[in-house]
Amino acid sequence: MNPQIFANNDLWKLFMLLVNMVLFLVIITFMYLMLEDHINTFLNKPSYTEEQLEEMLLKRERQKRIERNDNWDLVERGIHLKTGLKADKNLSIVIAACTSCHSAKLITQNRATRAGWKNMIVWMQATQGLQDLGEQEPLILDYLATYYAPTKMGRRKNLDMAAIEWYILNVEE
Ligand code: HEC
């Protein structure tokens, strides 16, 4: 074989090897740039033990409880969390007038008609030192009669005896 051709051939191979390597590096770099975010998030993903996770959960719950306790205006599912009263545009009036002497539970545990609530207010004014509620009284009564009205559950209505068609039960046969 001609040594000249052999040498050229070898050089060519070396050159192609270099070209391939550069191409390979370019492709790898390109792919890395495309996947950089994913790779980083995967590598940085923290892994926790079960106890650590539990502790984090407890911490978050504690934080939530503190937030609720500190937040006087927080309303969840229509209930004012701090007092347990139904949320309403007049709620602040009711809170101011009705929770200074006792818990709002006395309200949420009671049911009465507007007249019934009026009676309770009159009773508190006569015997417990509740002051005159002035022009707020109708607003408060509206609120109470709307959200803490007597529930309609209870037993069915009495039968209308006159309307019943009676028959004799035949037990002979
Ligand atoms: C000046 C203090 C005071 C204020 C203000 C006050 N109450 Fe009372 N209330 C009392 C006292 C004292 C009782 C009796 C508590 C007990 O029996 O433990 C009472 C009892 C109640 C009861 C229970 C009544 C029963 O028959 O068991 C309800 C309901 C009630 N209050 C609602 C209200 C509402 C609604 C308001 C706002 C309009 C209000 N209270 C504001 C002092 C007050």
> pLDDT tens string for the chain (173 positions)?
566 666 678 889 999 999 999 999 999 999 999 998 888 888 887 778 899 999 999 999 999 888 877 888 888 889 998 899 999 999 999 999 999 999 999 999 999 999 999 999 999 999 999 999 999 999 999 999 999 998 876 677 778 888 888 888 887 76
For residue 86, CA distances in Å to 13, 120, 165, 167 come to: 85, 19, 47, 52
Q: Report the CATH number of the 78-147 domain.
A: 1.10.760
CA of residue 97 to ligand 1 center, whole Å: 10
Residues 6 or more apart in contact with residue 124 via CB below 8 angstroms: 130
Ligand 1 binding site (Cβ under 6 Å of any ligand atom):
97-98, 100-102, 106-107, 110, 120-121, 124, 128-130, 140, 144
Pick the closest to residue 62 from 70, 50, 72, 74 (CA basis): 70
The overall pTM is greater than 0.85: no
**Residues 39/32, Cβ–Cβ less than 8 Å:** yes
Question: Which atom in ligand 1 lies closest to the alpha carbon of residue 137?
Answer: 38
Q: How many residues does the chain have?
A: 173
